Structure 1
Amino acid sequence: MEVAQVLHMNGGVGEASYANNSFVQQKVLCLTKPIREEAITSLFCSTLPKSLAIADLGCSSGPNTLFVVSEVIKIVEKLCQELNHKSPEYKVFLNDLPGNDFNNIFKSLDSFKEKLCHEMETRIGPCYFSGVPGSFYGRVFPNQSLHFVHSSYSLQWLSKVPEGVENNKGNIYIASTSPPNVVRAYYQQFQRDFSHFLNCRAAELVEGGRMVLTILGRRSDNPSSKDGCYIWELMATALNDMVLQGIIKEEQLDSFNIPQYTPSPSEVKLEVMKEGSFAINRVEVSEVNWNPFDDWNALESESGRSESLGDGGYNVAQCMRAVAEPMLVSHFGEAIIQDVFSRYQEILADRMSKEKTEFINVTILLTRKASA
């Protein structure tokens, strides 16, 4: 699997699009807002830059894409009023892999700027937007060109499927039945990728620059624990059923592995300390229900959006489809997609009716240290 070619969310605005199925991600952004406020406030008050460069890595496309940008600008403008300081100009860089639906983002910029100006009581500094396609596991920006880097629900994706996982039979990710070498291969790939990510960002951030990363993770120190793997184990159940019925070939399933790793807080901190360029200001763990509509009222009050709550199994299946469909189509072909997600929806609904199902989020706030 060429990850850079097939790892992108479903584009457009259709029923299975990421734009219409990213409520979990939106809720996570709401949960982690206080950490971003802390980061921006400390950054701005300590540097008072005339020009503020903000990068959102793994921005995707949809209602969440400009959520953090809007938030950052509002925080800074409020600080400018309090400090009687002139508004800075904002340079906003939106990064994702080339397959991302950047056109949809660019089409929304005018309405975003109008809405932002309408919501602010005073005039804001000029805003300049750039789309930056490319993998954040390499250099994306010039040296010391960024003040604030944000990424949410992107760094659990690996640069590639780990090598040496061919014996992960019947599974599509780490699972309770995965051999030890498979678990080790996934962890080592995460270590390489995350360390390289940190090294690249260290070069791109100014000294004292801040970075807030939220990664889909797990609480447990065991990589094969349910809190990090269960959602994919249930998709594997649907695919295995189709193998038994002769719809999918067994070797097709055995050669399909998801390029993801859900780290624990200690694994994230370890890589930051080993790389050495960043001070750790805060690490927090939060959780959100697989079905974000289970406690929709809190989210609705944050965003002002109101939607039909719908069926839990359907909501979660659609959320996962928006994320996984391009990878599944690339490997198995388009013909099986409807069948896979119909089965997956039933399995999800059954599991969710019998147990508490949550995504675990690891959020870390980092400050770029002064160079030695």
Structure 2
Amino acid sequence: MDVSQVLQMNGGDGHYSYSKNSHLQKMVIAITKPILEDALTNLYCAMNSPKTLIMADLGCSSGPNTLFVAMELLKSLNKTRLKLGQEMSPEIQIYLNDLPHNDFNNIFLKVSKFQNKLTESNSSLPPCYFSGVPGSFYTRLFLPKSIHFVYSSYSVQWLSQVPEMVMTNKENVYISATSPPSVIRAYHEQFQRDFSTFLKCRAQELVSGGRMVLTTQGRRSDDSLYCYVWDLLAIALNDMVIEGLIKEEKMDSFNIPQYSPCAKEIRDEVEKEGSFTVDRLEVSEVNWGASTDDYFGLSENDAHRSNMGKCMRAVVEPLIKSHFGESIIEEVFTRYTNIIMNCMSKENAKLVSVTVSLIRKW
């Protein structure tokens, strides 16, 4: 699997698009907003009333969350400016980055409306300019010392590649209770390599004293390695193997290119790489059931469970389609959604996020 070619959220604005099924991710952004505001306030004060600020949103995806993040950045900066009693707003450049197959057109169609809204509202929000930057954030993306602030939410848990394993991760698609120790080790080592590379690249691009706020899907502790939703996906796929709908060797060779680190793992890698100081490192939770505001005639609980299936489809459908082919997609996600709905009716699963605020050393 060439992750850079197949990893993308479902594009467009259709029923199974990321645009229509990313409410859960928006809630995570809202919950971690105080850390974002704190980092931007400290950056703005340290820069002593800058005339321009260059920012980057890495793994921006497409849909309303992309511009929701941009609006939160602008509001936070404006709040700080007004608090300091400064009349002039800095001009803002925001680079929107994701892999080349991301639905950038969906973003660009909405940018002009976003900018018109800023103008028409007669607000004091600063002028803002956008550019799309396709490419992996595990490579260099920007000129040296050209960026003041980097933001990323729910992106750095995605790895640059599926870990190379010496043993088959039999009947699993991620780290599970039955995964061999060598599989667990391979995932952890791939995360270490990738996150170190990410930090090295950003260290070259950020100005001295620049800031970075990253939120990733994570874990509460070192020993909680498993991921609830990937175990449920494995159940759906294994049932289809038993029924002859998927070849066993296809199942054996499919693994999710993701790793959910705990706070300690993030701190360890930051300290090992050495270019950044950890300013804040916090863990938060949101219910998996908070994946929708829309009930469509269902009970609130049933709507949450059904829409969790659509949320996961918006995220993982391109990976499954690339590996197994398009013909099984409807069957996989019908089963997967039913399993999610059944399990969520019995337990209140939590989505854990780890947010780190970093300062580029001088």
Per the normalisation by structure 1, the TM-score is 0.93
1:78-227 equivalent positions in 2, closer than 5 A: 78-82=79-83, 83-119=85-121, 121-122=123-124, 124-164=125-165, 166-222=167-223, 224-225=225-226
Once the two structures are superposed, residues 32-54 of structure 1 have per-residue CA deviations (whole angstroms, 9 ceiling, x without a partner) of 00000001111001102211001
1:359 is paired with a residue whose SS is: strand
Could you tell me whether the CA contact under 8 Å between 2:216 and 2:354 is conserved in 1? yes
* 8 Å Cα contact 2:172-2:255 kept in structure 1: yes
Deviation at 1:66, TM superposition (A): 1.3
Q: Would you say the 8 A contact 1:70–1:116 is kept in 2?
A: no
**Structure 2 portions without partners, runs of 5+:** none
| Structure 1 unaligned residues grouped into runs of 5+ | 297-305
Q: Hey, what's the Cα distance between the residues in 2 that align with 1:284 and 1:77?
A: 25
Take 1:46 and 1:219, find their aligned partners in 2: how far apart are those partners? 33
Shift of 1:114: 2.1
Aligned twin of 2:269: 271
CA distance in 2, matches of 1:87, 1:362: 32
Answer yes or no: is the 8 Å Cα contact 1:132–1:140 preserved in 2.
yes
User: Residue 338 of structure 2 is aligned with which of 346, 349, 367?
Assistant: 346
Task: After TM superposition, give the deviation of residue 222 of structure 1 in Å.
Answer: 1.9
How far is 1:249 from its partner? 0.6
Pairing 1:241–2:242 present? no
Deviation of the 1:290 alpha carbon? 1.2
The answer to whether the 8 A contact 2:167-2:180 is kept is: no
Moved more, 96-105 or 75-84: 75-84
SS at match of 2:133: strand
Partner of 2:289: 291
Q: Deviations over 1:189-223 (max 9, x none)?
A: 00000000001001111111110000001112125
Query: What is the CA deviation profile of residues 71-96 of structure 1, one whole-angstrom value per residue up to 9, with x for unaligned ones?
Result: 11122223333332421111110000
> Are residue 255 (structure 1) and residue 253 (structure 2) matched?
yes
Q: CA separation of 1:341/1:165 partners in 2, compared to 1, >3 Å: closer, same or farther?
A: farther
User: In 2, distance between residues paired with 1:166 and 1:138?
Assistant: 29
Alpha-carbon distance in 1 for matches of 2:77, 2:265:
32
Alignment of 1:36-75 (within 5 A): 36-47=36-47, 48-75=49-76
Partner SS, residue 55 of structure 1: strand
- State the match for 2:329 in structure 1: 337
| Residue from 282, 297, 313 that aligns with 2:280 | 282
Q: Is the 8 A contact 1:166 1:255 kept in 2?
A: no
Equivalent residue number for residue 364 of structure 1: 356
Q: Which runs of 4+ in 1 moved over 4 A?
A: 306-310
- Counterparts of 2:340 and 2:181 in 1: how far apart (Å)? 27
Question: What is the TM-score of this pair, normalised by structure 2?
Answer: 0.95
Which amino acid is 1:102 matched to? F
Structure 2 distance, partners of 1:125, 1:263, is 35
SS in 1 for 2:170: coil
Q: Contact conserved, 1:183 with 1:223, CA < 8 A, in 2?
A: no
3-state DSSP of counterpart to 2:64 = coil
Q: Following the alignment from structure 1 to structure 2, what is the Cα–Cα distance between the partners of residues 281 and 16?
A: 38
CA contact (8 A) 1:60 1:96 kept: yes
Q: Tell me the residue number matched to 1:12.
A: 12
Aligned residues: 356
Return 124-133 or 258-267, whichever deviates more: 124-133
Deviations 1:59-112 (A, max 9, x none): 000010011211111222233333324211111100000000001101101111
CA separation in 2, counterparts of 1:363 and 1:152? 9
Q: Deviations over 1:4-46 (max 9, x none)?
A: 0000000000000000000110000010000000011110011
SS at structure 2 position matched to 1:18:
coil
The structural deviation recorded for 1:119 is: 4.6
